């Protein structure tokens, strides 16, 4: 997917369980049966993916709505 | 959606009917659009519109009999718009800006026009614009000789005739004067026919014996002409309407229209097309509805110099007197249609197209789900067109085929499922009874907004009504109905019927106008009454404390009770008997939706808010509602509003200041009511759940409401994060961020554990799922 991007990762965020800073990783986003690769900050150890509020109500919402109206 | 039904709906909307002026004009000049442009000072744009239809603007502006003015609706409010004078002002100022160029025909045909009167020259103009080669033969010494003779120069300046004729010649029309056709003249009609592809006889009325050898004549010796097509007995020859002597009298604009009709037939003939197929009649009325009463009377502008006509500013002022004529009765009243800048005829087509699209984006999904289904448009429409019916039909069709985004109504349907779940729903006979003559069904929203008063109502009904009053906390299924989910709606209705039968088929008394309407419409064999008519019948409780009424109350009827006249009367009588001074807003019939109807505020919060905000502006008085959602929506948007139940069963000193409980608060209130009633009235053991202590500011709480997130879900995410340690930590602030998938939404919470509880800093959600690829 090209529409969603994690933007600049928040450097102060660490995974509370693994105590590791988040890194940009390729993850898979999916909605309504469509999947697409996207780079998002996530824990390199446990794979916890972080979605910021700006992303959730910004480009992610736009893509959700575009897929809904297909 | 059914195509025939869609056409029937479209036909009901008359907004696209021409205004009366345009319908009355033989050339159908769009005087409304012209006046709008003039009022805006755009004379160039106005004359472009005028000259697109009028072949000779300078001439016609001076001598048109303007039948438009006799039908102008402004006549009912100060005097008809002086369209003729506007046209003259337009020509005075902007005539030089008229630009015309003829089409280039691939195979130009040669057309002869006999007679250079207004009819003949209009036909010549129309045919040369189509790219044909036109030659006009005129017996007199100059074209439009009649106009020179019949009009004083002060009325029709010769310069106007010269300008228009000059423009016609410039377009390529060959006008040959002193060329008499027929009789002993040098040019015979037969020769014209031989040399041209078509001939138009436009030489005016009079005996036509000279043409008897070629054309069939009528009893009075004139050319026989078909009234509709202007065809004569010779296939290549057409004649303007004056020839058969049946015209009632000459008119300038009528002659131009006559020539245009003949030219239309000639062009069809030259293309080998039917002369009659899909051809409108000459006379056309209009059924455009115009609410003249809403316009203040205003007299016509008088020109400072009547001989010179309107000056620029005077013309603008007079043009601004045009309303302009539109129906738009529904659009004026409906924030939904206004938001989408549309009107029903266009909206119905858009909705149908959206429903029937095979490939590509469905751009109108949200528009279809944004209608409040409130019925106001139907009440206001001169033809009773109900947009709600159209939208509901589209919703059902699209939901059935899986084409409607579930996200629009997901939250509302989840709330409905919660109301129907064991956490809320229950039914019992009155304590000490094993049957119910009456079943009290308060609905979902009143128990969610005013649970203590619901309990008081139940106690009161139980005391006053004989035979046992059962209690049922459940949902009537309105959200399923509004969202177009037929199967889910049917499931709710079947459940209600089953339970009702198990209870011994009691009479149902409901506190909710939506439940009343839903049960009445979809479960017609269940006898149902409104709490308010019931209270009038059994009497109000005897309360010694003074009623909390201060100042007049503006009454707002719920849209679902628009036609419930008995309920409306009962509500007003109850309020009056409790000492309230009730003032009407629009009256019940024309009441508006609060945005909850049709689930509009879920699919489109902006439209939902526009509904309630517009209503709030109608009066500074505190509002009196008798639908809990209406009251809560007023409160949410900052309007002081109380519910009728606050008057009958007072629970607070200033009920109009009661805040909106919000979606989470409503869920909580329903759950608490169930536990309290079962424990206090039925003696059942109920344990109150231990809530996770959450701390949040009002701003955060309002933000969570706006995002349609639930406190319960936020608590669940925090509890899970605390249990598993699965969260992100901000090293600078120490805040934790956790997420959880609940239903179809991933909910994120940024929080901080403190001694007072978990402080929630923010929450948000999304539907898309993200995960690390395996």
pLDDT in tens, B522-532: 999 999 999 99
Answer whether A18 touches B (CB < 8 Å): no
How far, in Å, are B196, B200, B223, B258, B314 from residue B218 at the CA level? 25, 18, 6, 19, 51
Pick the more confident residue, B546 or B55: B55
Q: Is residue B546 part of a domain?
A: no
Question: ipTM of this model?
Answer: 0.91
Angle at B603 between CA B472 and CA B706, to 5 degrees: 80
Q: Tell whether B255 and B124 lie within a shared domain.
A: yes
Q: Tell whether B263 and B394 lie within a shared domain.
A: no
How high is the pLDDT of residue B691? 87
CB pairs < 8 Å spanning A and B = 95
Asked if B406 and B369 touch (Cβ cutoff 8 Å), the reply is no
Nearest residue of chain A to residue B732 (CA atoms):
A12
* Owning domain of residue B306: 18-98+289-319
Asked if B459 and B442 touch (Cβ cutoff 8 Å), the reply is no
Q: Tell whether B208 and B315 lie within a shared domain.
A: no
Chain A CB contacts of B769 under 8 Å are: 29-31
Asked if B449 and B521 touch (Cβ cutoff 8 Å), the reply is no
Asked if B688 and B674 touch (Cβ cutoff 8 Å), the reply is no
Domain termination site, one of B519, B540, B561: B540
B452 has pLDDT over 70: yes
pLDDT in tens, A18-55: 999 999 999 999 999 999 999 999 999 999 999 999 99
SS3 assignment, position B243: helix
CATH code of the domain in which B115 resides: 3.50.50.60
Domain termination site, one of B353, B382, B405: B405
How high is the pLDDT of residue B185? 60
How high is the pLDDT of residue B360? 86
CATH code of the domain in which B723 resides: 3.30.2310
Q: Is residue B28 part of a domain?
A: yes
For B96, list phi and psi in degrees, rounded to 5: -60, -15
Q: Tell whether B644 and B503 lie within a shared domain.
A: no
Q: Tell whether B436 and B532 lie within a shared domain.
A: yes
**Beta-strand relationship, B174-176 and B133-137:** parallel
Q: Tell whether B433 and B527 lie within a shared domain.
A: yes
Q: Is residue B771 part of a domain?
A: no
How far, in Å, are B12, B20, B515, B612 from residue B386 at the CA level? 9, 25, 21, 20
Q: Which residue has the tokens 């205003």?
A: B298
Q: Tell whether B54 and B125 lie within a shared domain.
A: no
* Domains contained in chain A, CATH given: 14-68 (3.10.20)
Q: Tell whether B591 and B714 lie within a shared domain.
A: no
Which residues lie below 8 Å from residue B39, measured CB to CB, with a gap of 6+? B316, B319, B320, B322
Q: How deeply is B746 buried, as exposed, middle or buried, from its count of CB atoms within 10 A (0-12, 13-18, 19+)?
A: buried
Strand order in the sheet with B438-441: B426-428, B469-473, B438-441, B507-510, B528-530
Asked if B236 and B198 touch (Cβ cutoff 8 Å), the reply is yes
SS3 assignment, position B395: helix
Q: How many domains does chain B have?
A: 6
Query: Which one, of B539, B541, B549, lies nearest residue B652 by Cα?
Result: B549
Q: Is residue B6 part of a domain?
A: no
Q: Tell whether B143 and B205 lie within a shared domain.
A: yes
Q: Is residue B688 part of a domain?
A: no
Q: Is residue B103 part of a domain?
A: no
Three-state secondary structure of B177-238? CCCCECCCCCECHHHHHHHCCEEEECCCCCCCHHHCCCCCECCCCCECCCCCCCECCCCCEE
Domain termination site, one of B382, B405, B428: B405
Pick the more confident residue, B209 or B171: B171
pLDDT in tens, B254-312: 999 999 999 999 999 999 999 988 876 655 678 899 999 999 999 999 999 998 999 99
CA distance A51 to A63: 14
Q: What is the overall mean pLDDT for chain B?
A: 94
Nearest residue of chain B to residue A45 (CA atoms):
B772
Give one DSSP letter per residue of B424-481, joined into a string: T-EEEPPTT-SS-SEEEE--SHHHHH-HHHHHHHHHHHHHHSTT-EEEEE---SHHHH
How high is the pLDDT of residue B668? 96
How high is the pLDDT of residue B742? 93
CA distance B483 to B412: 9
CA distance B448 to B457: 14
Q: pTM to 2 decimals?
A: 0.88
Q: Is residue B246 part of a domain?
A: yes
pLDDT in tens, B4-59: 999 999 999 999 999 999 999 999 999 999 999 999 999 999 999 999 999 999 99
Q: Tell whether B258 and B379 lie within a shared domain.
A: no
Q: Tell whether B532 and B561 lie within a shared domain.
A: no
CA distance B572 to B216: 78
Task: With both helix axes pointing from N to C terminus, report the angle between B158-170 and B118-129 in degrees, rounded to the nearest 10.
Answer: 30
Q: Is residue B545 part of a domain?
A: no
CA B566, B568, B574, B577: dihedral to nearest 10 degrees?
-100
**pLDDT bucket at B242, cuts 50 / 70 / 90:** low
Answer whether A1 touches B (CB < 8 Å): no
How high is the pLDDT of residue B352? 97
Chain A CB contacts of B772 under 8 Å are: 25, 27-28, 42, 47, 49
Q: Tell whether B94 and B150 lie within a shared domain.
A: no
Asked if B88 and B154 touch (Cβ cutoff 8 Å), the reply is no
Interchain pair A28, B732: CB under 8 A: no
């Amino acid at each position: 997917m090209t529409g969603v991007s994690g933007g600049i990762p928040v450097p102060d965020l660490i995974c509370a369980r693994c105590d590791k800073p988040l890194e940009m990783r390729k993850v898979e986003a999916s909605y309504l049966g469509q999947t697409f690769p996207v780079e998002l900050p996530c824990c390199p150890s446990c794979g916890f993916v972080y979605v910021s509020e700006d992303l959730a109500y910004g480009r992610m919402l736009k893509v959700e709505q575009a897929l809904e109206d297909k | 959606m059914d195509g025939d039904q869609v056409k029937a709906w479209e036909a009901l909307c008359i907004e696209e009917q021409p205004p009366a002026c345009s319908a009355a004009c033989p050339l159908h000049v769009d005087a409304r659009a012209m006046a709008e442009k003039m009022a805006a000072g755009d004379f160039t744009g106005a004359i472009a519109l005028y000259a697109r239809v009028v072949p000779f603007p300078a001439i016609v502006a001076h001598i048109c009999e303007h039948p438009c003015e006799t039908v102008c609706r402004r006549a009912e409010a100060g005097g008809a718009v002086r369209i003729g004078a506007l046209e003259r002002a337009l020509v005075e100022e902007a005539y030089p800006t008229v630009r015309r160029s003829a089409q280039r025909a691939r195979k130009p045909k040669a057309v002869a026009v006999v007679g250079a009167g207004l009819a003949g020259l209009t036909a010549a103009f129309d045919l040369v614009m189509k790219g044909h080669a036109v030659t006009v033969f005129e017996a007199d010494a100059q074209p439009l000789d009649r106009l020179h003779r019949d009009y004083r120069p002060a009325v029709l300046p010769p310069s106007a005739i010269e300008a228009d004729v000059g423009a016609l010649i410039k377009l390529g029309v060959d006008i040959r004067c002193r060329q008499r056709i027929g009789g002993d003249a040098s040019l015979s009609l037969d020769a014209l026919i031989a040399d041209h592809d078509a001939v138009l006889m436009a030489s005016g009325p009079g005996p036509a014996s000279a043409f008897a050898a070629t054309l069939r004549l009528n009893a009075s010796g004139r050319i026989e002409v078909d009234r509709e097509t202007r065809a004569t007995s010779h296939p290549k020859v057409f004649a303007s309407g004056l020839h058969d002597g049946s015209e009632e009298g000459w008119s300038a604009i009528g002659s131009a229209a006559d020539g245009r009709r003949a030219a239309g037939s000639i062009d069809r003939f030259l293309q080998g097309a039917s002369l009659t197929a899909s051809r409108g009649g000459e006379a056309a009325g209009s059924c455009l509805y115009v609410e003249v009463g809403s316009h203040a009377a205003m007299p016509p502008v008088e020109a400072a110099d009547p001989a010179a006509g309107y000056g620029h500013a005077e013309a603008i002022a007079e043009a601004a007197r045009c309303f302009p004529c539109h129906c738009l009765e529904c659009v004026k009243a409906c924030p939904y249609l206004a938001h989408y800048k549309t009107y029903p005829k266009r909206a119905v087509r858009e909705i149908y197209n959206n429903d029937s699209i095979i490939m590509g984006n469905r751009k109108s999904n949200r528009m279809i789900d944004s209608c409040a289904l409130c019925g106001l448009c139907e009440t206001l429409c001169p033809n009773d067109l109900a947009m709600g019916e159209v939208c509901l039909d589209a919703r059902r069709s699209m939901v059935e085929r899986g084409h409607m985004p579930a996200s629009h109504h997901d939250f509302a349907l989840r709330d409905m499922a919660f109301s129907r779940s064991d956490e809320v729903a229950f039914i019992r006979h009155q304590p000490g009874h094993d049957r119910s003559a009456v079943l009290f069904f308060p609905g979902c929203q009143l128990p969610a907004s005013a649970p203590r008063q619901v309990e008081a109502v139940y106690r009161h009904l139980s005391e006053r009504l004989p035979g046992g009053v059962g209690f049922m906390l459940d949902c009537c299924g309105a959200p399923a109905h509004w969202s177009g989910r037929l199967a889910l709606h049917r499931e709710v209705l079947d459940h209600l019927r089953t339970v009702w039968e198990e209870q011994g088929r009691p009479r149902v008394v409901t506190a909710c106008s939506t439940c009343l309407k839903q049960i009445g419409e979809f479960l017609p064999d269940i006898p149902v009454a409104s709490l308010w008519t019931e209270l009038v019948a059994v009497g109000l409780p005897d309360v010694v404390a003074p009623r909390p009424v201060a100042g007049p109350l503006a009454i707002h009827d719920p849209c679902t009770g628009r036609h419930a006249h008995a309920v409306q009367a009962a509500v007003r009588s109850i309020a009056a008997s409790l000492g309230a001074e009730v003032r009407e807003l629009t009256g019940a019939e024309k009441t508006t939706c609060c945005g909850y109807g049709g689930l509009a505020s879920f699919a489109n919060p902006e439209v939902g808010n526009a509904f309630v905000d517009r209503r709030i502006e109608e009066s500074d008085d505190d509002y009196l509602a008798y639908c809990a959602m209406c009251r809560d929506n007023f409160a949410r948007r900052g309007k002081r509003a109380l519910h009728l139940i606050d008057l009958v069963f007072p629970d607070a000193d200033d009920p109009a200041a009661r805040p909106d409980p919000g979606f989470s608060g409503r869920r909580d209130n329903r759950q608490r009511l169930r536990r309290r009633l079962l424990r206090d009235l039925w003696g059942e053991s109920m344990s109150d759940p231990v809530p996770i202590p959450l701390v949040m500011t009002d701003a955060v709480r309002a933000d969570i409401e706006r995002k349609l997130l639930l406190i319960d879900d936020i608590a669940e995410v925090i509890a899970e994060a605390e249990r598993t340690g699965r969260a992100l930590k901000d090293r600078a602030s120490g805040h934790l961020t956790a997420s959880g998938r609940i239903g179809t939404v991933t909910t994120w919470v940024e929080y901080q554990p403190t001694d007072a509880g978990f402080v929630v800093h923010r929450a948000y959600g999304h539907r898309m799922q993200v995960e690390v690829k395996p």
